[in-house]
Chains A and B, each alone.
Chain A
Amino acid sequence: MSETKVLTEFYHLPEYQTLAGYKAKGGYETLPKALKMQPQAIIDEVKASGLRGRGGAGFPTGMKWGFLPKNGEPRYLLCNADEGEPGTFKDRMMMERAPHQLIEGMIISAFAVGSHKGYIYVRGEYVFPIECLNKAIKEAYDAGLLGKNILGSGFDFDLDVYRGAGAYICGEETGMISSLEGLKGQPKLKPPFPAVQGYLRKPTIVNNVETLAAVTYIVKDGAQTYRKHGTEKSAGTKLFSVSGNVAKPGNYEVPLGYPLLDLINKECGGMKPGRKLKAIIPGGSSAPVLTAEECAKANLDYESLAGLGTMLGSGAVIVMDDSQCMVDMLGVLTHFYAHESCGQCTPCREGTGWLNKILHSILEGRGRLQDIDLLVKVADNMKGKTICALSDAAALPVLSFVTKFRDEFEFYVREGRSKVKGTTYAEMHH
């Protein structure tokens, strides 16, 4: 079992949620040190650490911060706590168990990028995490850790929680900015990128909860110490939310580069008794699926997974055993994406709906063999042709499921029932 717990070492302690409990374990010790550094030195340290965004795209955090214009224009720091990717629930744990960890990370990051105003954008359904954050923010304000002249350093930073109304697309950074601006949660065309023109058209940094929290550890122990975890190109540790047919689903922190099957077999206690691994979606529902054979070769880092044609994404590992019908699984996913497309771009708006209809025709026994190829054609023409990556997110699972488990789709079309379960859609879902 992995012993590396950079972020989650004290998550089992209930008092860690409070300011006192957090401080007792060394919390807010890094902040004064950071406030005495040159902001650029912090950015350089983050660059040197090799930290990559934990929200899905894995973009190097230090590099993103470097895109900010160098003038003194007001800028914003937004924490992406929307956590909309199906299968992902890691940020929730951090907000509930260690809210101060996120707050400290945000203050340090804000100081580094020169922002005096930050928002944590949380999905509306996360009622309890929002309560935890608000409580912690109040504690931090009372202790002079937020607001004017933080710890006498002359640095001001205000932080608020913004409660979204619950749409997957509000997790996409420009969709989140629109939502925060009070508009419909719809992504914006890029360029301009948020670092140049974001919230209220001002330079804006959007980072994931886990990314921001990791900044504290990088500043505390230095980039080189952080780099001891993980691989050359995928540095540090990462939280993985494992769901599906494993014995112990949950959140696990492991160093990047950790073998995927070790996560399943060691951390999660293996498959449910008597069941065999069939497939894994390694990085949230938008990542292409891996077959059991591919899983054996997969390590949990950006490069290894890219090499297998999939991605680390948000780190949501969705495990399927041999009782799962892939046609049915894909039906769930296409339904989700058809529901969540914001409706702006034609290929996504119409394509997600079309994919979903084709799949449900197959599931309901009205499918034609040519529909399987049609799924591929439609998905191919949605990929890379839209404003945001939701369209790709909808297309990639379709392409991988249909290619890797084509026999199940063909069987379903020919017989009108699931090859794995032997039943029809109506019977599966009574």
Chain B
Amino acid sequence: MPKCTINGKEVEVKEGSSIIEAMQVSGDRIAHYCWHPGLSVAGVCRLCVVEIEGNPRVQIACNTMVTEGMKINNTSEKVKDTVKWGLDFHLINHPLDCPICDQAGECGLQDQYMEYGKYDPEMAEAKVKKHKVVDLGPTVVLDSERCILCSRCVRFTEEVSKTNELGLFNRGDRTEIGTHDGMPLDNNYSLNTVDICPVGALTSKDFRFRQRVWYLKDGDSVCNGCSTGCNIKVYYNKEGLFRIKPVYNEKVNGHWMCDSGRNAYKFVNREARLLKGVARGVEMAPGAAAKNANEVLKNTAGDAIALVLTAQYTLEEYEAIIKTFVEEFKTKKVFFWINNKETFDSFDGLLSRGDKNPNTKGLLKVMEKHGITATWNDLSAGLANGSIKTVVVAGPENQVVFPEYAERLKELSKAQNLIWMQSGKNEALSALTGNVWIIPMKTFVEKDGTFINYSGLEQKIKKVTTVVSEALTLTEAALLLAGKNLAMPMTAPFMPTNQRPDQVELEHRKKNEFVFRRGSL
């Protein structure tokens, strides 16, 4: 464990650390565009310069290893001047696009200019013009002029997705990135290139021009797109959710997430949601609909009741609802609705798993705890011979990953009474008539709880925001279905009205709040 001194502070680092890694440990700021902890070292942007005692030339921190007793600084005039010039080289051919650039507000160039810039530009020559609005594939658009050729995206497709679509073409200041032979950038990880692009060169077709980033807040969560449970940040404001980005977690997803997972914000937004409850054709508040269903449940208690669960709810919710059915309604007919059975165990080798549920392990755990052994065949048989009269379903949150949804709905609606809980709209569901209850549910960003991923890792999720305030969690629904009243939520500890729980400390306000909160590039 070599010790070194960085800007006067002594730090001990892991054997084989580069200076830039040591600076992450010591918390010293260092400019960098091409270095990314999840990719190989390229050493091309030349911003991460440091001075090392005894070395007349400045060195790059990303490709220089720390040795015992090394004295490093990146605050000297020499370093500052080199970084200023490094930035100037980046900017001489850069377009004046900030007002229309999607990256404005989270742009590495803007950040650097604030830190080292504010000087008079020396470039008096015409800029090199490069391609704009280059369609790279189904998800990503390239603006070559803004690209600073850090090669992060190229290295990503070579080293992480291993799909090799991208390359650097041409030479000198005509160099541009692009796709080989016009092959599209089309893989399930393509949007990571947008995340790691330090400038606005790669933009997400889905997100571009939809929001200025400084109008967005963000919150941490866990993706519910599959059983990997990638750690994510959800970006939202009062208009809804706009995008999802991965958050580093060494044990789960590293730095990345898949493109399918990024769509998870779409079914959360209000336009996709069930807003009103329904009880036998009558619209009412979600809570009222649930309470209304208590009548029929009371009357059919015992083996005539079946509970069907998808694996997209939290551990705590499963505990509440299964307990209610076993103890209050005296039934052990609890069934696990498994989507896409054939591909359930598949894995793409990187992150995405065939089990498209965030909490299969959690559901199985609670079922086991309550000694549940019923199989889907028991359910089908019970429906066919009429022994099962009332079916309660906690339907999928993400309907897209339930391809046989309509089929199942048809099968389950054979029951005399169908009580269906779900967060998203569905035409076939709304079209059902007769003894049908529809209860709007909250989504994963609207509640606290626990998911257990494929490997058995428990991950807590916290409420990020509320989209449909009237919607219920499964825990709340369980209470109401059992004829109880909702417990009043605990009042939050007292907080003066002029403060928010997510208050940003004053010293950080010196920077754009968003820039502070988004973490490092």
Contact = CB atoms under 8 A, between A and B. Distances in A.
Query: Do A and B interact with each other, yes or no?
Result: yes
B314 to A, nearest CB: 47
B100 interface: no
B86 interface: yes
Nearest to A386: B46
Interface string A331-353: 00000001111111111011111
B509 interface: no
A42 B126 CA distance: 56
A361 B124 CA distance: 10
A196 interface: no
A169 B171 CA distance: 10
B44 A345 contact: yes
B239 interface: no
Residues of A contacting B: mostly: helix
A349 B123 contact: no
Interface in B163-187: 167-168, 170-175
Interface in B59-100: 63, 82, 85-86, 89-90, 92-93
Interface in A337-374: 338-347, 349-354, 357-358, 361, 368, 371, 374
A167 interface: yes
A385 interface: yes
Contact of B171 (A189, A341, A368, A377): A341
A39 B86 CA distance: 47
B151 interface: yes
Interface residues of A, number: 34
Chain B interface size, as a band, is 20 to 34
B25 interface: no
B172 A346 contact: no
A381 interface: yes
B172 A349 contact: yes
Contacts, number: 92
B89 A350 contact: yes
A189 B86 contact: no
Most buried by B among A184, A191, A338, A344: A344
Contacts of A269: none
B128 A346 contact: no
A151 interface: no
A210 to B, nearest CB: 28
B148 interface: yes
Interface string B85-121: 1100110110000000000000000000000000000
Given A344-B151, A361-B125, A385-B82, A338 B172 contact: yes
B306 interface: no
A387 B172 contact: no
Contacts of B149: 343-344, 346, 349
Interface of A: 167, 169, 184, 186, 189, 191, 338-347, 349-354, 357-358, 361, 368, 371, 374, 377, 381, 384-387
Given A354-B92, A357-B125, A385-B46, 7 more contacts: A191-B63, A339-B172, A340-B171, A344-B42, A346-B45, A385-B49, A386-B46
